[in-house]
Amino acid sequence: MSLAGCFGCHMSFLDIDERLFALIERVEFDRSPLTDLKAVGRCDIGLVEGGLCNAENVQVLREFRAHCKTLVAVGACAINGGLPAQRNHLRIDELLRAVYQQRDGLAAGAQVPDDPELPLPLNRVHPIHEVVHIDYSLPGCPPSADAFWQFLTDLMAGRTPQLGHGLMHYD
Amino acid sequence: MTPAAPLFLLDGHPVPFKPGETLIEAATRAGRHIPHLCWHPGFAPHGSCRLCMVAIGERQLAACSTAAEAGLEVRLHGEALAAQRRTLLQLLFVEGNHFCPSCERSGACKLQAEACEAGVEGPHFEQLYPDRPVDASHPDVLLDLNRCILCGLCVRASAQHDGKAVFALGGRGLGTQLVVGSASGRLGDTDLAASDLAARICPVGAILPKRRGFAVPIGQRRYDAAPISALPETDDGMPPP
């Protein structure tokens, strides 16, 4: 699942290429950006990319925690907020006004969107472990396909995932 | 016939030392890596990062400021010491804004390299997200205090090597930060030069040369090919001038 992510971790996961065929023989995907399921069911493993930037992120994260035996913070954003957390030294109301009201080229009378259908942003971006318990972190921005593969094969074999030099990186 | 050099044991391996040497000096000379951030062979020990903690009997001591003695049995590895090093590294990471994906020191950063080697996968502590303004006032050197780990290497290099005393550590507790010795507090108002050792010795991405970002391809950066423990001390931490 992607929260305040860029979908890059999902793309890096897909970079395992033809190993996806081997994987799909062994696993079944529940709610995911790659499936059409709208609600998360009982799962063994939940992979979460992105930090928490709005109210909907928090709700979705809590649903994943409630339904997944093992929850994994995937990528720099989920782990420490990542580059989106660089907004944490700015005021969110000033940011929204700068983008939706004060930017050059906006139509006259442009306002910050306020429809209740839209989730309100949080004051600050947070890593996911500050809201729910995380079982593992898979670092990288994004983690490499080989890191995903090593991590998932370890987990499926019942081993504690070990990345080691080359697969372990934060950038 | 010269008498044999005295020895101490590091995880059971004999390490020869010269009288007056610290544990980390002798171990480094013998090609054994003791994790560290604030120690540098050219300067007196600082003792702030605590990464070089070793166990001698029941006691834990910093290898950078403990004199070698003949027959000492020093332990560096072991689950408790490894867990303590991971905790120290996690604390350093949450105290700053270590967003490696956009940092120009990534791949050549000692903090990052020691954390990777120690197996730090996540932070475990709440992020402090400090908000210290970046000082871009100097024409050639950028200062981002949100990445500074207070190792004091720039302070020592500036005072003892460059003879300038551009930097100091000021404040108390969590408010401690690197301060710049000009009336305005701005780096641009000091006589720091980009060629000074103080401008090059930072082991993390706090003091960076301007206009030279991302010059080394991924895969060829200092710690890409091998973990930090496998590299000689002279080959790490000190960016080329």
Contact B239, B157 (CB under 8 A): no
Is pLDDT of A121 > 50?
yes
pLDDT interval class at B241 (50, 70, 90): very low
Contact B121 A169 (CB under 8 A): no
Cα–Cα distance measured from residue A116 to residue B209, given in angstroms and rounded to the nearest whole number: 47
DSSP secondary structure, B10-47, as one string? ETTEEEE--TT-BHHHHHHHTT-----SS--TTS----
DSSP secondary structure, B69-121, as one string? -TT-EEE--SHHHHHHHHHHHHHHHHHTT--GGG-TTTTS-HHHHHHHHHT--
Q: Given this model, what pLDDT does residue B233 score?
A: 80
Q: What is the mean pLDDT of residues A34-49?
A: 97
pLDDT tens-digit map of B24-61: 999 999 999 999 999 999 899 999 999 999 999 999 99
pLDDT interval class at B236 (50, 70, 90): very low
Q: Which of B116, B127, B131 sits opposite A80 (nearest CB)?
A: B127
Instruction: Classify residue A131 by burial, with Cβ atoms within 10 Å: 0-12, 13-18, 19+.
Output: middle
pLDDT interval class at B213 (50, 70, 90): confident
Q: Given this model, what pLDDT does residue B2 score?
A: 63
pLDDT tens-digit map of B126-141: 999 999 999 999 999 9
Q: Six-digit token pair at B39?
A: 């120690």
Contact B100 A141 (CB under 8 A): yes
For A165, name the nearest residue in chain B, comparing CA atoms only: B227
Q: Given this model, what pLDDT does residue B232 score?
A: 86
Cα–Cα distance measured from residue B112 to residue B89, given in angstroms and rounded to the nearest whole number: 9
Q: How high is the ipTM of this complex? A: 0.94
Q: Does A138 touch chain B (CB under 8 A)?
A: yes
Contact A139 B107 (CB under 8 A): no
Instruction: Give B71's contacts (C-beta < 8 A, 6+ positions apart).
Output: B7, B8, B9
Contact B123 A129 (CB under 8 A): yes
Q: Does A165 touch chain B (CB under 8 A)?
A: yes
State pTM to two decimals: 0.95
Share of chain A above pLDDT 90, in %: 99
pLDDT interval class at B123 (50, 70, 90): confident
Q: Which of A86, A127, A138 sits opposite B123 (nearest CB)?
A: A127
Contact A171 B107 (CB under 8 A): yes
Chain A CB contacts of B124 under 8 Å are 129
Q: Which of A137, A141, A168 sits opposite B101 (nearest CB)?
A: A141
Contact A89 B115 (CB under 8 A): no
Is pLDDT of B155 > 60?
yes
Contact A141 B122 (CB under 8 A): no
Across chain A, mean pLDDT equals 97
